[in-house]
Structure 1
Amino acid sequence: MRARVTGFLGSLLMVLLLCACSAVTQPAGPSIRQPALESKSLIMADGAVLPLRSWLPEAEPKAAIIAAHGMNDYSNAFDGPGKGLAAKGIAVYAYDQRGFGQAPHPGWWSSTETMAEDLRTASRLIAARHPQTPLYLLGESMGGAVVIETGAHAPPPEIRGLILSAPAVWGRASMPWYQRAALWLSYKVAPGWVLTGRGLKIRPSDNIEMLRALSKDPLVIKETRVDAIHGMVDLMDAAQEAAPHLELPLLLLYGAHDEIIPPEPTWAAVAGLPHLGTRQRAALYENGWHMLLRDLQAQVVIDDIAAWVEDQSAPLPSGADRAASGKLETLASETR
């Protein structure tokens, strides 16, 4: 009996050890060429082709925005806001980040460094196309974390400012111990497991029609590998640590009904911004959810972005900046 138990435990240990060795990432490879901007793609230095979408105004743009999408999404996330901003004279470019959409290795994580370097490369290429046009970075959720990491460490000199929509700043430092433990164990034991999120009562937006369309879109990832989640949390760790080092002007957008990124780490990140109240501001949307740029009130957010790009010191048309200031004052009084 003891021999059988010992054999079973040995076999189980072997399985766990084999699983522990199976985490896979797909970071950028060695440089083999000069990066290039084509009409519908960005070509990185390692030869990776990242599909590109653009929404351009009829006249010469008064500003240009490079948009980075969220987890399991792809560049089409910015179709609505891209059209809305183009109508206001702002060019918008968005690309499928590695591991998402039609970019290489869909479903597989690259790395924080790869994602940030890809955004720096995209910035240089698009700035060269619009040499006299102010350039901004816009990131939604995961994309917001990429923008923070890019903006805090060696940001391209062409960048005039950052726009962070519900940025993913929920790192391990702000997670409960049991979530950290569950992620650590699953990553060590079975990094190739896939999770669907079914059964989670989380609502990312009040735009139900849009959510239904995403559920039917084959380019939106529905099953997420544990090692990709682990990589995402690594990225959020990096963004959480980098946020206090941001020097560029920025506008951080957050919805009061956000059920994806908790308010505590978000407001902590806002409060820690080095130039909050001068060239760095937050906006709180009382009717906003996580997917602010695609919520039913998306036009309100789009109008605020356009107004901020036009004049970074002027009050936002919606008053969401005043709502954020009030929220910060309330939080500060509660901690006194």
Structure 2
Amino acid sequence: MHRPWFLCALLVLALAACTPRLVPPGPDAPAGTTPAVQENQLRMADGTRLPLRIWPAREGEPKAIVLGVHGFNDYSMAFDLPGQWFAAQGYTLYAYDQRGFGATRYAGLWPGTDALTEDLGTAIVLLRERHPDKPFFVVGTSMGGAVVLAAAERGVLPRVDGAVLAAPAVWGRRTMPFYQRWALWLTVHTVPWMRMTAEGLDILATDNLIELYAMGMDPLVITATRIDAMYGLTDLMSEALEAGDVLPAPTLLLYGAKDEIVPAEPMLELWERVDERPGITPALYDDGWHMILRDRQAYTVWRDIAHWMREGNPLPSGADRRARQAIAVGTTDTMKDLAAE
């Protein structure tokens, strides 16, 4: 009588033994080999090679060096639009494909926070050595912003002249509804290989529909995500949300009032945690979406970033003033009101 229930219990236990799969370490580099910049790639200490793209300053010596760190399921071409603009303004922008993304080996598997943060630290050191006399800034978008935050939390973020976090992924586990946490834990420990898409979710990452179409046609953009990759991203975001106390200064924290990917609540919490720290500037864009560096109003954001790197505050657009208003109110209503206008 109880045999079917017994078999079901055994099946659940067997599936629960499933564990998330991570990108395996790269081939061991030969003895004495050190990380290096090699033409269009970065070679890490374990031999892993990360594709590298460069948008060089179009005239003369660059005013500063900018390192772009892309978001989840994206890759270095995420910085093509801002890269072209910054190059025209006299900046040199680099961006690399993070492990598990773009043209790297094992794309689609989660690389782990350890690997992501260590790669970022290595990339900064290598590119600073290439440009020792230039100001150096790191720009992290979405997951890339979370990687910067986690690297700061772990004490593995090398010194930079400034950091820009554009819609950083700080939707930590403790800010999620319990049913989302439970469902994610259950699926990652039963069917970690299962893939999910964003079809039917009725959300937009940006109002730049041309860019969304191009991403949908790009074979290097991941459109079907493994459950264990989503679980790993949640771990990263949870760590990033707690990193406010160690965030390096100066830092510019950008958020769009129309962001449908990262909720306003955790972003406001991060702003409130760093509000009294000198050198940390929150900025709120009423027409900004999640892909804030590629939105239709992205020029406003690019101009603010360039101004901030040269001269600091206040920002030309007034986005820093709007963010201070949201912090003063202490709720996300200000953000929602701006988005509704």
For the superposition of Structure 1 and Structure 2, which TM-score range results when normalised by the shorter chain? over 0.9
Which residue matches 2:306?
306
Which residue matches 2:248?
247
Q: Among the aligned pairs, what percent are the same residue? A: 47
Which residue matches 2:177?
176
Which residue matches 2:71?
70
Which residue matches 1:188?
189
1:202-213 aligned at under 5 Å gives the runs 202-213=203-214
Letter paired with 2:98:
Q
| Counterpart secondary structure, 1:272 | helix
1:139-178 aligned at under 5 Å gives the runs 139-178=140-179
TM-score normalised by structure 1 residue count: 0.93
Does the aligned pair in 2 maintain the 1:245–1:274 contact within 8 Å?
A: no
Cα distance between partner residues in 2 of 1:172 and 1:137: 26
Cα deviation per residue 1:10-33 (whole Å; 9 max; x = unaligned)? Answer: 5633xx514632421115458633
Which residue matches 2:21?
24
Cα distance between partner residues in 1 of 2:296 and 2:252: 21
Deviation at residue 247 of structure 1 after TM alignment: 3.2
Which residue matches 1:330?
329
Cα distance between partner residues in 2 of 1:23 and 1:160: 36
Q: Give the CA RMSD over aligned residues.
A: 1.9
Cα deviation per residue 1:125-154 (whole Å; 9 max; x = unaligned)? Answer: 000010001111110000000011123433
Cα distance between partner residues in 1 of 2:332 and 2:77: 41
| Counterpart secondary structure, 1:23 | coil
Cα deviation per residue 1:71-115 (whole Å; 9 max; x = unaligned)? Answer: 000000000001111111111100000000001210000111110
Cα deviation per residue 1:296-323 (whole Å; 9 max; x = unaligned)? Answer: 00111000010010012x3111111111
Deviation at residue 156 of structure 1 after TM alignment: 4.7
Letter paired with 1:250:
T
| Counterpart secondary structure, 2:330 | helix
Is structure 2 residue 323 aligned with structure 1 residue 315?
A: no
Is structure 2 residue 311 aligned with structure 1 residue 290?
A: no
Deviation at residue 244 of structure 1 after TM alignment: 2.1
Which residue matches 1:231?
232
Letter paired with 1:112:
T
Unaligned runs of 5+ in 1: none
Which residue matches 2:53?
53
Deviation at residue 201 of structure 1 after TM alignment: 1.0
Unaligned runs of 5+ in 2: 334-341
Deviation at residue 332 of structure 1 after TM alignment: 6.8
Runs of 4+ residues deviating >4 angstroms: none
Does the aligned pair in 2 maintain the 1:27–1:109 contact within 8 Å?
A: no
Structure 1 residues 333 and 181, CA gap change in structure 2 (3 angstroms): closer
Deviation at residue 155 of structure 1 after TM alignment: 4.6
Structure 1 residues 69 and 333, CA gap change in structure 2 (3 angstroms): closer
Deviation at residue 67 of structure 1 after TM alignment: 0.7
Cα distance between partner residues in 1 of 2:125 and 2:213: 36
Which residue matches 1:127?
128
Letter paired with 1:289:
W
Cα distance between partner residues in 2 of 1:22 and 1:45: 27
Which residue matches 2:339?
none
Cα distance between partner residues in 2 of 1:333 and 1:252: 16
Letter paired with 2:316:
P
Cα distance between partner residues in 1 of 2:290 and 2:259: 4
Q: Size of the alignment, in residue pairs?
A: 329
Does the aligned pair in 2 maintain the 1:207–1:294 contact within 8 Å?
A: yes
Cα distance between partner residues in 2 of 1:158 and 1:130: 14
Does the aligned pair in 2 maintain the 1:74–1:220 contact within 8 Å?
A: yes
Cα distance between partner residues in 2 of 1:127 and 1:310: 18
Which residue matches 1:90?
91
Does the aligned pair in 1 maintain the 2:120–2:157 contact within 8 Å?
A: no
Moved more, 225-234 or 322-331: 322-331
Does the aligned pair in 1 maintain the 2:117–2:156 contact within 8 Å?
A: no
Letter paired with 2:174:
A
Does the aligned pair in 2 maintain the 1:20–1:191 contact within 8 Å?
A: no
Does the aligned pair in 2 maintain the 1:69–1:142 contact within 8 Å?
A: yes
Cα distance between partner residues in 2 of 1:280 and 1:255: 17
Cα distance between partner residues in 2 of 1:167 and 1:95: 18
Cα distance between partner residues in 1 of 2:89 and 2:156: 26
Deviation at residue 157 of structure 1 after TM alignment: 4.4
Moved more, 134-143 or 22-31: 22-31
Does the aligned pair in 2 maintain the 1:27–1:111 contact within 8 Å?
A: no
Structure 1 residues 43 and 258, CA gap change in structure 2 (3 angstroms): same
Letter paired with 1:304:
D
Cα deviation per residue 1:173-205 (whole Å; 9 max; x = unaligned)? Answer: 111111111111111111111111211011111
Moved more, 239-248 or 211-220: 239-248
